[in-house]
Amino acid sequence: MRVAVTGGGGFLGSHLCEALLRRGDSVVCLDNFSTGDPENIAHLLSDPDFEFQHADVSVSVEVTGRVDAVAHLASPASPPDYLRQPLETLAVGSRGTEHALRLALRHNARFILASTSEIYGDPLVHPQDEGYWGNVNPIGPRSVYDEAKRYAEAVSAAYRRTHGVDVGIARIFNTYGPRMRPHDGRVVSSFITQALTGEPLTVYGDGTQTRSFCYVDDLVRGLVALLDSREPGPFNLGNPVEYTVAELAAMVRGMTGSSSEVQHHPLPVDDPVRRRPVITRAREALGWEPEIGITEGLRRTVAYFGAHPDRLGASAAAIRGGQDETVPVPAAAAPVGVPQTIPGPATGVPSASVAAPPAASGS
């Protein structure tokens, strides 16, 4: 099977590309590295079954040759990213999704959408199953991501009903693991970065808000299962075990041996208080459920962060002291030695040039 993966240079996208190649598929990876990292896919460039295209899917999605499936993962996904790129986030959720759907339509290909638990907003129903319509503020600071994904689901469903596109929708809950960026502002990466650099751990509110953390390998298995099916979904993909943010902070401090203190900051506007997926539908229709517990998942993630100390210093500065929900975290400086240019494949696709982000500053 030949699969086009938009956002394939990102955290989740690169793991999906790798999993597909590992099982013998061919992959066309499309990314403009607005939030991805060239290093995520550098080890795949020598694989003859891997092609890379530097592309902004909000402008167009063009893939030559056969396409059997399209996995649309392109989008900023962490609050600092979509607050820093609000219009780009809306564009990739709307125009980008439509361009990816048209690619699938032209090739009669399977299409899967990486949606998000954020479509549930700050839920009034707990835990959340796929029948819940959500509680979203359409004009709040988080709306650029929430509503972009809600529109992406709507247009995907419309393409299925109107054009018969073989659409599958995954609603992804908090996912963590190797290749997360230390400065991406998500709670797992922030806590690990702060613990390893001796910075205070930033906890918003009193820490009693909950999240459900799914290790990346488990999540990717779910995406592959959805890709291989004809199921439309939507499917919650996440770990149904719920932890408070304070519990996560304690686990990270214990695992890293850190003496970092915990500092509390105001809870951001519209930040969900509780978040846990019901995954019955995915268990029954896809035969999927998470296998890696948080202790093992955190161990692997801490080991990955510890193996990249060059990235931690600038990233710690970028996330220091907590961020107001209306002030996005600046991008951390690219570490020395990370390639800023990725050559295109032998087919003549232009090389990917990535401008180094500005130096980080505290907030």
Query: What does the pLDDT look like over 267-325, one tens digit per residue?
Result: 877 777 888 999 999 999 999 999 999 999 999 999 999 998 888 877 776 777 554 34
Query: What is the chain's mean pLDDT, rounded?
Result: 88
Overall average pLDDT of the 110-114 stretch: 98
Does the structure show a pLDDT above 90 at 7?
yes
- In which band, very low, low, confident or very high, does the pLDDT at 361 lie, cut at 50, 70 and 90? very low
Look at 274 and 61; give whichever has higher pLDDT: 61
Does the structure show a pLDDT above 50 at 28?
yes
Q: Which pLDDT score is estimated for 321?
A: 58
3-state secondary structure (DSSP) of residue 82 = helix
Per 3-state DSSP, the chain is made up of helix, strand and coil in percentages (nearest 5) of 40, 15, 45
Does the structure show a pLDDT above 50 at 5?
yes
Among the listed residues 91, 64, 219, the one whose alpha carbon sits nearest the alpha carbon of residue 149:
91
Q: Which pLDDT score is estimated for 312?
A: 84
Length of the chain, please?
A: 363
Decide: 332 and 315 in contact? Cβ < 8 Å. Answer: yes
Q: Which pLDDT score is estimated for 128?
A: 95
Element at 201 (helix H, strand E): strand 201-204
Element at 168 (helix H, strand E): strand 166-172
Does the structure show a pLDDT above 80 at 245?
yes
Among the listed residues 178, 118, 128, the one whose alpha carbon sits nearest the alpha carbon of residue 148:
118
Given 82, 120, 132, 145, which residue is catalytic?
145
Q: Which pLDDT score is estimated for 315?
A: 79
- In which band, very low, low, confident or very high, does the pLDDT at 124 lie, cut at 50, 70 and 90? very high
- Half-sphere exposure of residue 46: CA atoms within 13 angstroms, side-chain side: 1
The region that residue 8 occupies, defined by phi over 0 for left and psi between -120 and 50 for alpha, beta otherwise, is: alpha
Does the structure show a pLDDT above 60 at 360?
no
Decide: 1 and 69 in contact? Cβ < 8 Å. Answer: yes
- Rounded Cα distance between 236 and 362, Å, is 36
Q: Which pLDDT score is estimated for 356?
A: 31
Among 68-82, 223-237, 313-327, the range scoring the smallest mean pLDDT is 313-327
Per-residue pLDDT of 145-156, as tens digits, reads 999 999 999 999
Does the structure show a pLDDT above 80 at 340?
no
Overall average pLDDT of the 43-70 stretch: 97
- Told to judge if 132 belongs to the known catalytic residues of this protein, a careful annotator would answer no
Does the structure show a pLDDT above 50 at 347?
no
Does the structure show a pLDDT above 70 at 4?
yes
